[in-house]
Structure 1
């Protein structure tokens, strides 16, 4: 695919990251478990809409950096690498704990969609993650890096939406399972932490070319 490298590895990483329990996962589980499948679907679509915003921001913000400014590229690279290593180590070293979903306000599809989107858009860690993760799979000096970033972002959203819909449909059962067996979530955290740590180190060593 023009401008994209290691697309298969990218999709595998997307699946692994989306399967790891996090804020979005437990928000969907909470809405679906408390209000039914419609609210869970609204939450899933709202989170995906927020990811579209982050994808467009990444495309617009990184296009000039990737092609014109070596200093800005390096600054962003090391910032992103440090963040990925930090969250990877936190996941690897975190103590086992039972996750408690945040309280939500409002009921129904529309409220779940709106809150899901705002939770995602207003989370600066999500924006920084997009800026750190997507460029690793763009070919240096690609003729159209914006198109590559857009395809990668939409691919990430697609895999995430698929899993989010599963969570919305099976939310109540999965929620109860993780509440009873927190070790499952703990091991999933460690697996994702190791993956993010590897991506962070790789990003720190990457050359602009």
Structure 2
């Protein structure tokens, strides 16, 4: 179909690759557990938009330029690593919202430190988009993986690439939204428990540490 072959194998392999955990999955789970399914869906859609950019770039040959240029790869890699480190630090240092005190229980500290507003769906979408699009290894993955399923005599290799990339992204969005639903259900179950606040705080710190780890590993990696 459209100059492709072994489409069933491509779909199965793509699903298995999507299930593998990484920064994208962690971001979806964190946002949906903290703010509900809508927030997780916004992160997933941002990741999907980033994947579209990688697919189009690879189809148009831009990813090949990224692969061939050590300087371009390093710049994008360091930008992506810096953003992951920023996300990790923001999660580690974020202060949990506290309900406003009333009457005699109020304090000057509470009056001076208003609660931080939760991230908007648009901001969460951009987090997902940047986490994905600033990772040059995603671009190189598409460049290495997708052409294996394009026939040598395909009438338009770019169109075949976009077709396979769209299938991969669609399946990825199904998995990502399943993650968002699972995160939202889990978050709703523990949110009103007595121990939910310290648990959320430590989970946030753990996820922040993981994002820091991903960022440092990306910055120190040199395989292309």
Same fold (TM over 0.5): yes
1:122 aligns with 2:121: no
Q: Whose Rg is larger?
A: 2
Answer whether contact 1:167 1:174 (CA < 8 A) is retained.
Answer: no
1:38 maps to which residue?
Answer: 38
Distance in 2, matches of 1:26 and 1:50, equals 16
RMSD: 2.7
2:173 maps to which residue?
Answer: 161
2:163 maps to which residue?
Answer: 151
Q: TM-score, normalised by structure 2?
A: 0.58
1:13 aligns with 2:13: yes
Residues 27-63 of structure 1 deviation map (CA, whole Å, 9 limit, x = unaligned): 1001111111111110000000000000100110079
Q: Structure 2: 5+ residue runs without aligned partners?
A: 69-86, 95-117, 191-202, 204-224
Q: Please identify runs of 4+ aligned residues in structure 1 that moved more than 3 A.
A: 101-106, 172-176
Q: Structure 1: 5+ residue runs without aligned partners?
A: 66-71, 77-100, 180-209
1:112 maps to which residue?
Answer: 124
Superposition deviation, residue 116 in structure 1: 0.4
Residues 142-162 of structure 1 deviation map (CA, whole Å, 9 limit, x = unaligned): 221111101000000000001
Question: Matched residue pairs, number?
Answer: 144
Superposition deviation, residue 2 in structure 1: 2.8
1:50 maps to which residue?
Answer: 50
Q: TM-score, normalised by structure 1?
A: 0.62
Residues 72-99 of structure 1 deviation map (CA, whole Å, 9 limit, x = unaligned): 9xx98xxxxxxxxxxxxxxxxxxxxxxx
Distance in 1, matches of 2:144 and 2:33, equals 33
SS of the residue aligned with 1:3? Answer: coil
Residues 165-204 of structure 1 deviation map (CA, whole Å, 9 limit, x = unaligned): 111111155789xx8xxxxxxxxxxxxxxxxxxxxxxxxx
Answer whether contact 2:33 2:186 (CA < 8 A) is retained.
Answer: no
SS of the residue aligned with 1:31? Answer: helix
Answer whether contact 1:62 1:131 (CA < 8 A) is retained.
Answer: no
Distance in 2, matches of 1:41 and 1:25, equals 11
